[in-house]
């Protein structure tokens, strides 16, 4: 932080804290383009105005001097318009330079050499009043940049480096009334060499490696005295929650060359406070307001923020003003605003060494997913909000961000929806290059340490007031060494970081923090459902920070939108084929393990449609088992499960792996398996001991429940039935065993079905769950378990499902629309005349062309119905996503012929 230098009249004032990622660059957006009007900057003290966008061009095509490029009036002929947060490639894609990179192997055709040279970003802004001071405030430069204003260099790439560092440049002396120009000469990115962002093995990396500016560049205005670093330290009384103490802190900085006296006034709700601060020229002081001097900052009966499902999400607002004393009344020089929540987070290690999170004194099982932004870091608030709503629909409570830390708006949404977040640095590139042995990522040089510390300071200052943020993971696959850890912890302490800091997402330890309390034992590729019940490796014990059974094949609708017919043929015919839409990693390059299991358990696919329907069945049972095992074991007295993060929640592109929903937000077996497992009151089958267990994710206890388990052959012949009444279960994730299925049942076929139902005291069904099982279980070879999977030596025989007779399912649907939201109600009924159930009946809402309407939230889906049974499902979605079409309902299933009916 001390390496910044004077550059002409501008001063680099610090690497502090801020972040955003991505921008949907819009080629026809009136705010961008070579001839777009400049950004109009407010003159109000304390205002911040984000640049509306840029024009960009390769330095290989620009021979003009930097002073010309960065001066007002430069023509920028032939340059490309770019959004306010845009990588180079995102801008080129928005301008139609390349074909859709999400389809087939189009991305391979984009020449990487075009991004091995710097690119210019330039933007104009207008200032009406130069009596106020002007600053450029930004972060999110990937990987580094020389910065120019009105023809003068104000910072070098040596200073402005690292995706997460924050920079404030005082450009007051350069700014003039009328049009001004800021230009960034962006350096190429290499995540193995730069402390930026990389994609590890998640997807095929973008050819430009995300070089660009992926956060807002702010033009900040103010008087001689500036307010910075405003935040609130909260201390909630736990477990009573009866009171909370608030401490307000901010830096007051005199940017003038003369002494100044500032009046700092603030408010939180109806509580007001203030202080007079005398400042020498260029002096900075920290001002603090505490309950000891402002009694109103001691809150009785505070509004406490809770994770979704545990309570509400109230937020408070801090407002600060700095006025400069002089003749007459003081003149407002700067303002600051911060939103915060009041909650307490603790995460001690339990007796088994696993990290156990508590929010406001209450234990909770972390049920999460690994987050991915768009591959080209394009920010779309609606798309992000849709995915966060999906997380709530799935019953998840946490999102883990391994690097790719999203912009402020992401965490604002998480605060609002009550979704916990676990941000941290990423593995397997420069971030862990110093400690990751022989893996990718260069060793650090002396220049990297201050960049890493500044990155930590930036993120700590940006994230600390968000109640959704419950930790920061300063390591991922590896923990930092003593020097790096100290730098991180010093930065976190200086920022008043309020929540637990974790050494790594793996079971590594660091010198000061000690054990992480987490494990990263996989799997990442296919394992059978019974794997999750073993209290070893990736099974349901401790805190597994990233894990899943690997491939998640999308729906047929999505597959046809992402792959050519020839590629789709290969998909189901050749397990050994390298799949471009899986991973660049040789470990995960094919679908061989997955396809072998699919064939071994369900029988060889007979075509693409058969392959996809078997995949959805397999993904439903596997994802459901993963979450069910962790939920069942969460309150065990010995080696309890404390957390599980599904790897991953979503993918940044059109993918065949690691996703609970696909790129287009379509939902298949993985999605609905997770949704079923995480329902609030849930009856489930245990693969390890055949127990039928009721899990209560609600806070209040449940009593007078009735559990029923019925066993059928695939043709619907009933072979076992037992009902247990008077079942009760405590709240907060407790479970109760209602019954245990017998080890053998007379007349049972090799493949069989188990139907579980749970009804309340009134007889209303509150949970229903159907399993397809085999008398011959999957057999795991634990002795040869690897970091990414455990071999299966024999498969469960589920081939009997293929003999299930086709069953007709009728559907009747109607739609109501109000305020831009439509709700379609669908009643499906098994109208078959025999005994055979309709297994995993799927309902898709489609438009007139048959295209799925997405995003959508179903009350339930992929239901199994016995003859005469009905299920009423509701689907909620934006009316505009019908694109003027009348809604239709497409019904299909494992053994249900497809049909489409009107839903108008």
Q: Which residues are catalytic?
A: 477, 546
Alpha helices (H) in 663-807, listed in sequence order: 669-677
Apex CA 492: angle with CA 487 and CA 498, to 5°?
155
Nearest partner of 572 among 551, 543, 541, judged by Cα = 551
Angle formed by the axes of helices 669-677 and 608-632, nearest 10°: 20
Is the link from the previous residue into 143 a cis peptide, with omega within 30 of 0?
yes
The three-point CA angle 516-519-523 to 5° equals 160
**Is residue 658 a contact partner of residue 647, using CB atoms and an 8 Å limit?**
yes
Number of H helices, E strands in the chain: 11, 53
Distance (Å, whole) CA 805 – CA 819: 44
Is residue 736 within 8 Å of residue 693, measured between CB atoms? yes
Give the CA distances from residue 61 to residues 66, 141, 399, in Å, rounded to whole numbers and listed in that order. Answer: 13, 21, 42
Do 154 and 179 contact (CB within 8 A), yes or no?
no
* Alpha-carbon gap, residue 290 to 297, rounded angstroms: 7
Instruction: Specify whether the CB–CB gap between 55 and 91 falls below 8 A.
Output: no
Burial of 832 (0-12, 13-18, 19+ CB in 10 A): buried
Question: Hey, how many other C-beta atoms are within 10 angstroms of the C-beta on 668?
Answer: 29
Residue 784 burial (C-beta neighbours within 10 Å; 0-12, 13-18, 19+) = exposed
Verify cis geometry, omega within 30 degrees of 0, for the bond prior to 804: no
Which of these, 699, 679, 685, 691, lies nearest to 737 by C-alpha position?
691
The residues pairing with 234 across neighbouring beta strands, listed in sequence order, are 246
Give how far Cα 789 sits from Cα of 168, 254, 561, 646, Å. Answer: 47, 59, 30, 15
Q: How far apart are CA 721 and CA 607, in angstroms?
A: 37
Beta carbons within 8 Å of 357's beta carbon, 6+ residues apart: 345, 346, 347, 363, 364, 366, 470, 642, 643
Task: Tell me which H or E stretch contains 184.
Answer: strand 178-186
Kindly calculate the radius of gyration of the chain based on its CA atoms and give it in whole angstroms.
29
CA atoms of 875 and 724, how far apart (whole Å): 33
Q: How far is CA 760 from the centre of its chain?
A: 35
Reduce the DSSP state of residue 803 to 3 states and report it: helix
Contact 624, 551 (CB under 8 A): no
For 719, the 3-state DSSP assignment is: strand
Is there a contact between 210 and 141 (Cβ–Cβ < 8 Å)?
no
Whole-angstrom distance, CA of residue 765 vs CA of residue 107: 49
Q: How far apart are CA 527 and CA 505, in angstroms?
A: 21
- Cβ-based burial of 265 (10 A; exposed 0-12, middle 13-18, buried ≥19): middle
Q: Which residues contact 538 (CB under 8 A, 6 or more apart)?
A: 519, 521, 522, 523, 527, 531, 532, 544, 547
Q: Determine the 3-state secondary structure of 818 from DSSP.
A: strand
Question: Residue 499 and residue 492: Cα distance in Å, rounded?
Answer: 10
In sequence order, the β-bridge partners of residue 340 are 316
């Amino acid at each position: 932080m001390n390496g910044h230098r004077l550059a002409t009249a501008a001063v680099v004032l610090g690497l502090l804290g801020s972040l955003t990622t991505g921008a949907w660059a819009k080629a026809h957006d009136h705010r961008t383009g070579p001839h777009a009007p400049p950004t109009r900057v407010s003159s109000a003290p304390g205002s911040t105005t984000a640049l509306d966008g840029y024009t960009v061009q390769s330095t290989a095509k620009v021979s003009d001097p930097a002073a010309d490029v960065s001066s007002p009036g430069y023509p920028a002929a032939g340059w490309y318009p770019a959004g306010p947060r845009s990588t180079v490639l995102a801008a080129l894609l928005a301008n139609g330079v390349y074909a859709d990179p999400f389809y087939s192997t189009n991305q391979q055709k984009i020449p990487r050499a075009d991004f091995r040279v710097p690119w210019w970003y330039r933007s104009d802004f207008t200032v009406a009043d130069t009596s106020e001071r002007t600053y450029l405030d930004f972060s999110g430069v990937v990987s580094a940049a020389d910065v120019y204003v009105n023809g003068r260099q104000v910072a070098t790439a040596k200073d402005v480096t690292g995706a997460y560092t924050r920079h404030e440049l005082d450009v007051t002396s350069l700014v003039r009334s009328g049009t001004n120009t800021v230009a960034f000469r962006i350096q190429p990115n290499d995540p193995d060499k730069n402390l930026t962002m990389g994609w590890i093995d998640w997807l095929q990396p973008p050819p430009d490696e995300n070089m660009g500016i992926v956060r807002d560049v702010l033009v900040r205005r103010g008087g001689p005295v500036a307010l910075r670093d405003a935040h609130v330290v909260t201390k909630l009384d736990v477990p009573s929650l009866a009171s909370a103490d608030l401490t307000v802190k901010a830096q007051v900085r005199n940017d003038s060359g003369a002494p100044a006296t500032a009046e700092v006034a603030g408010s939180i709700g109806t509580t007001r406070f203030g202080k007079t601060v005398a400042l020498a020229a260029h002096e900075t002081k920290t001002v603090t307001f505490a309950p000891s001097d402002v009694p109103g900052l001691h809150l009785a009966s505070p509004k406490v923020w809770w994770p979704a499902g545990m309570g509400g999400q109230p937020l408070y607002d801090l407002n600060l003003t700095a006025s400069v004393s002089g003749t007459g009344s003081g003149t407002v020089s700067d303002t600051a605003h911060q939103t915060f929540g009041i909650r307490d987070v603790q995460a001690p290690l339990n007796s088994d060494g696993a990290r156990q999170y508590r929010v406001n004194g209450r234990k909770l099982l972390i049920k999460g997913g690994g987050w991915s932004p768009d591959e080209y870091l394009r920010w779309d608030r609606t798309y992000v909000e849709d995915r966060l709503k999906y997380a709530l629909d799935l019953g998840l409570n946490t999102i883990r961000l391994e690097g790719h830390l999203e912009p402020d708006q992401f965490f604002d949404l998480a605060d609002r929806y009550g979704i916990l977040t676990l941000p941290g640095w990423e593995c397997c590139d420069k971030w862990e290059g110093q400690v990751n042995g022989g893996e990718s990522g260069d060793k650090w040089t002396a220049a990297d340490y201050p960049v890493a510390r500044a990155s930590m300071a930036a993120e700590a200052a940006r994230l600390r007031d968000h109640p959704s943020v419950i930790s920061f993971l300063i390591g991922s696959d590896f923990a930092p060494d003593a020097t790096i850890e100290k730098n991180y912890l010093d930065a976190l302490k200086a920022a008043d970081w309020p929540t637990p800091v974790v050494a790594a997402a793996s079971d590594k330890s660091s010198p000061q923090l000690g054990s992480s309390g987490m494990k990263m034992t996989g799997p990442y590729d296919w394992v059978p459902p019974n794997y999750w019940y073993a209290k070893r490796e990736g099974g349901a014990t401790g805190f597994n920070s990233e894990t899943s059974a690997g491939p998640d094949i999308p729906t047929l609708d999505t597959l046809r939108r992402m792959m050519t017919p020839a590629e789709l043929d290969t998909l189901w015919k050749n397990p050994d084929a390298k799949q471009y839409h899986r991973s660049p990693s040789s470990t995960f390059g094919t679908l061989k393990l997955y396809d072998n299991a699919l064939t071994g358990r369900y029988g060889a696919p007979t075509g693409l449609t058969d392959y996809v329907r078997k995949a959805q069945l397999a993904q439903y049972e596997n994802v459901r088992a993963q979450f069910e095992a962790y939920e069942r074991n969460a309150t065990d007295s010995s080696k309890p499960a404390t957390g599980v993060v599904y790897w991953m929640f979503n993918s940044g592109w059109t993918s065949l792996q690691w996703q609970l929903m696909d790129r287009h937000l379509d939902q298949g077996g993985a999605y609905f398996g997770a949704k079923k497992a995480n329902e609030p009151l849930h009856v489930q089958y245990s693969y390890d001991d055949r127990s039928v267990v009721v899990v209560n994710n609600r806070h209040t206890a449940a009593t007078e429940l009735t559990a029923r388990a019925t066993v059928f052959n695939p043709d619907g012949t009933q072979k076992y039935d037992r009902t247990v009444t008077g079942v009760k279960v405590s709240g907060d994730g407790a479970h109760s065993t209602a019954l245990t299925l017998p080890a053998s049942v007379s007349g049972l076929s090799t493949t069989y079905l188990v139907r579980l139902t749970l009804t309340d005291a009134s007889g209303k069904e509150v949970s229903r769950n159907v399993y397809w099982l085999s008398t011959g279980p999957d057999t795991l070879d634990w002795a040869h378990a690897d970091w990414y999977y455990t071999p299966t030596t024999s498969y469960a025989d589920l081939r009997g499902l293929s003999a299930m007779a086709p069953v007709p399912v009728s559907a009747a649907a109607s739609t109501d629309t109000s305020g831009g939201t439509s709700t379609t109600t669908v009643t499906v009924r098994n109208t078959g005349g025999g005994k055979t159930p309709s297994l995993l009946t799927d309902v898709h809402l489609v438009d007139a062309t048959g295209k799925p309407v997405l995003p959508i939230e179903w009350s339930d889906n992929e239901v199994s119905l016995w003859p005469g049974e009905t299920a009423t499902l509701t689907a909620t979605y934006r009316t505009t996503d019908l694109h003027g079409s009348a809604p239709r309902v497409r019904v299909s299933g494992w053994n249900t012929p497809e049909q489409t009916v009107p839903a108008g």
